Structure 1
């Protein structure tokens, strides 16, 4: 910071000292101007006239009033204007006390609105100029009288210009601060959405694969002594499910890496093209799953494809965990106009909704499915079937808007 800028900052921090220095400078200019004769034989002549004591008193009072111009601008203007009127009537030759009124008028114009500036400025110009022309000893058309009119107009105009510039700068600063707050809020919103998306992915991956691992481990423990071949097969399924879980977790957690971190091994997000593979993992776990599709040739956006896969995965996982033994599940994927409908039903005899299905007790199964579907402007309905079992029905748009695609991925 330069010396000039440091001095400016100090003066702004002490406005009363700045106004006192301004008042002293104005007083010095008025006293010096009172010694000048503008109409001498040789033009402007210095030292021909001297101010009388009363003029010096008026000059001192007018300059002293300027010290308080920021605290009470209109009062200071009224006081300086009154002193200028008294000087115009009694001064002979006149001293330039009107300079105080001009500075006070500038202060009022810089701290109020434009209509008020017009009213006060016109009143000040009319009173000071009219008094000087009517009551002064000089001819009414003397340049001193016209100068009062010009200087008061300049003071009001300059003050209004300064006020407009301050308002403009303040508006720009407020707009920049508002834009900064908006960017921060948008960043926080995006972070929250990304955290929610990652939480849904982690829940889907963990719930699905851990459920399969749990079932196959139970099968292996049950038949280990009597049927070791079947136990080995179950353990192989455990290993395959755990490896798949690790791969998907690695791909999901890889999104949390910083840009400079080593690139994590990832794989494409799963979609309906892997539906048969998904059904096969459940069949290997002992769940009878039938798949019916009537969506051939439909190309889904990545967000919709992933959401459809996750809905089916979560629904079958819940069937595996909560529907009981010897249950059969049916999955149907049907294209209906601009939408694709996904239905997962089972004939299990399980009771009311389990906590993992979003019922009382607080799981996140159905909640996560609903969030995925709602983010894509779709609908999800779930509930028990008449005669037993459970039904999950999701309707997703085949085409999504860009904002919905971002929310769903």
Structure 2
């Protein structure tokens, strides 16, 4: 028989368990009838001879085999029926027909479908009742091999069924653990992808918000003085070109992180940090914002993540000042090392009348909170007494594991 045929037959039998049990019952009936023609008692107690089974024993065998058909649905009921048939055969049958074979199959089914304590209780009860009835009620000697065979076969049926159930439970447990581990890996991968997308979104927001704001301001200046002061217009356009070039370079570096290992290498540059703070302030000064920088961090070497977060916080704060604090605003930036932390403060004295922010319409302060919170730092933002706005961030010099960003009552002006 070919392998596909065997697989189809196995699949059909698996999907039709009642037909399989009916075939098993028929096979058990054939074995019991064939065994009933064998007489183990020869003249000298060793040879085997032929005998004719009693008609009542044939009826009991047929009834015991028929009871096995629903053995998967009601295994304990089937065991009770086959055990009763075996008891009747033990009391009335002479010589005994092998009706107990149906009880052995039923006991195996019960052991394979229930727990171990139940198997022990039912198995011992079945062994004791059937073996005791065969030893006490029959005309044969109590120690005859037929009686001992009932004891051995019932014991092996209970042990075999329990072993099959244990192996099935073990395989199921392994399968469940493997599925759980696979789900855990998938969830971890999704979480890491979400975190990376959020980080890239923050970087893109910082780059676009900063440089596009500068381009917008300088383009407005150029349009305003184009006719009357062409030299100043040319200078403003030069700043536009420089800001757009910087934006493109940073965008190219960020997009380069998304390339796969087999893709052509993209031009990249080191992530910005406080070493480029003067350059950052210069870009805002060229856009018309007065910026003063004061540093008292004593040459502290910051981890890359902390250095980048500090730079982005200052960049975002100055961008907000340029966009919303008014044309005559002045910004003050301070970087101070205080114990195990570095404190960053950005102040402005603007009126905020140039362009009022829409409530909840931006992501700048949200991005700053996420950056600072990811490093287990704190961020405080809000209006200053007497006018202006204040951004204050405390970053640990030694960045710790991710923590939930602290909440603050504030309005994002970006």
Normalised TM-score (structure 1):
0.94
Give me the CA root mean square deviation: 1.8
Give 1:226 shift. 2.2
Give 1:211 shift. 0.6
* 8 A contact 1:36–1:45 mirrored in 2: no
Further displaced range: 108-117 or 342-351: 342-351
Distance 1:139 1:82 in 2: 22
* Number of the residue aligned with 1:407: none
* 8 A contact 1:216–1:238 mirrored in 2: yes
Give 1:352 shift. 11
Distance 1:342 1:244 in 2: 24
Distance 2:208 2:58 in 1: 92
* Number of the residue aligned with 2:328: 326
Q: 1:179 aligns with which of 164, 168, 181?
A: 181
Distance 2:94 2:153 in 1: 21
Matched ranges for 1:30-49 at <5 A: 30-41=32-43, 48-49=50-51
1:377-406 Cα deviation digits (max 9, x unpaired):
1111100000111000111111123657xx
Distance 1:138 1:239 in 2: 112
Matched ranges for 1:123-134 at <5 A: 123-134=125-136
1:347-392 Cα deviation digits (max 9, x unpaired):
111159953xxx6242111111111111111111100000111000
Q: 1:294 aligns with which of 285, 293, 296?
A: 296
Distance 2:235 2:36 in 1: 114
List alignment gaps of at least 5 residues for structure 1.
405-409
Distance 1:30 1:74 in 2: 22
* 8 A contact 2:41–2:48 mirrored in 1: no
* Number of the residue aligned with 1:222: 224
Match of 2:149, SS state, is: helix
Distance 2:107 2:74 in 1: 12
Give 1:63 shift. 0.7
Match of 1:39, SS state, is: coil
2:348 matches 1:346: yes
Give 1:297 shift. 2.9
Distance 2:86 2:75 in 1: 16
Q: How many residues align?
A: 401
Matched ranges for 1:116-127 at <5 A: 116-127=118-129
* Number of the residue aligned with 1:379: 378
* Number of the residue aligned with 1:112: 114
Distance 1:320 1:353 in 2: 10
Q: 1:265 aligns with which of 264, 267, 292?
A: 267
Match of 1:388, SS state, is: coil
Pick closer, same or farther for the CA change 1:338–1:145 going to 2, 3 Å. same
Give 1:73 shift. 0.2
Normalised TM-score (structure 2):
0.93
Match of 1:335, SS state, is: strand
* Number of the residue aligned with 2:169: 167
Pick closer, same or farther for the CA change 1:146–1:386 going to 2, 3 Å. same
1:265-315 Cα deviation digits (max 9, x unpaired):
111111111111111101111111111112233222211111111110000
* 8 A contact 1:35–1:46 mirrored in 2: no
Further displaced range: 250-259 or 206-215: 250-259
Q: 1:275 aligns with which of 268, 272, 277?
A: 277
